[in-house]
Amino acid sequence: MIEHPEPEPSRPVRSWIRSAPGTHIWLLIIAITSIVVVIAPDHLERVLLHRNSSNIHELAKHPIRSLLSSAFWIENPASLALYAVLFELFHAPVERWLGTLRWLVIVATAHITATLVSQKVVLMAIQDHRAPRSMVHVVDIGVSYGLAAAIGVLTYRLPGPWRWFYLAGVVAFFGLPLATGGTFTDLGHAISLAVGLLAWPLTRHPHPHGRPCFT
C-alpha cells in the first residue's frame, strides 16, 4: 500500500493533491489529452479517438494498449470540468481512504471488466444481426467505468442509514437506464458499480490516514 504524506496546513493545495496522487495524475493526463483533441484537426481528432478506443476492432488488434489508453481520453473535452469535480467527489475520497494501491486495483478491475463484458455483448449482437457491423469500430473511451466503481465502493464509507439512501440512489441512477433498454455503455456502468460494491473486502482495513469522505 502506498503511504500518503501527512497534511501540510501551510500548503493546502499541495497537501490536497499529494493526499490523492493517483486521482490527480489521472486527471492531469485527461486534461492533456483533452487539449490535444481540442487543438487537433477534425480528421486527426477522429483518428485519435478511434485508435485509443477499446472497441472490438482495437481490442482484437491491440488488447492491452486499447484497454489502457481508453481510460485517459474523453470524447467531449467540454466535459473536463465536470469530470474534475466528480474525481474530487468520488475518486479522491476513495484513494485517501483505502490508499492508492487498493483504489487503483478497484477502478482498474472495473474498467477492464466492464469494457470486456460490454464489448462482448456488442459482438454477440452483431453476430445475431441485432446491431450493425459498424459497431465494431464504435468509439468506446472515457473514465466513467472507473468512476462508477469509485461511487460504488464509497457506499461502505458512509455511516448508518445514509449508506442505504446513498446505495438506493446510485443503484437507481445506474440501473434504471439499463432496465429501460440502455446501451452497452449503460451495461458497463452497471458492471462497474457492481465491481465497486463487491470490493467490500478491500475496505475492511482502510488506509491509516483515511479521512471522512466529502471533506
- Which DSSP state fits 56? H
pLDDT above 80 for 214: no
Which three cell numbers, joined as nine digits, stand for 53?
478506443
Read off the pLDDT of residues 155-213 as tens digits, 9 standing for 90 and up. Answer: 999 988 899 999 999 999 999 999 888 899 999 999 999 999 999 999 987 665 554 44
Lowest mean pLDDT among 38-42, 60-64, 115-119: 38-42
Q: Taking the complete model, does pTM exceed 0.85, yes or no? A: yes
Q: Give the residue with greater pLDDT, 56 vs 16.
A: 56
Angle between helices 144-153 and 184-198 (to 10 degrees): 30
pLDDT band of 4, cuts 50, 70, 90: low
Q: What is the pLDDT of residue 205?
A: 75
Contact yes or no for 110/42 (Cβ under 8 A) = no
Contact yes or no for 194/152 (Cβ under 8 A) = yes
Q: Give the residue with greater pLDDT, 42 vs 132.
A: 132
The widest CA-to-CA distance across the chain, in whole angstroms, is: 62
The average pLDDT across 64-69 equals 94
Q: What is the pLDDT of residue 213?
A: 42
Closest to 91 measured CA to CA, from 24, 156, 191: 24
Q: How far is CA 94 from CA 31, 151, 199, 200, 209, in A?
A: 21, 9, 12, 12, 12
Exposure on the CB side of residue 193, measured as CA atoms within 13 A: 19
Rounding to the nearest 10 degrees, give the CA dihedral for residues 182, 174, 98, 15. Answer: 100
Q: What is the pLDDT of residue 15?
A: 85
Strand runs labelled E in the chain = none
Read off the pLDDT of residues 6-37 as tens digits, 9 standing for 90 and up. Answer: 545 556 778 888 899 999 999 999 999 999 99
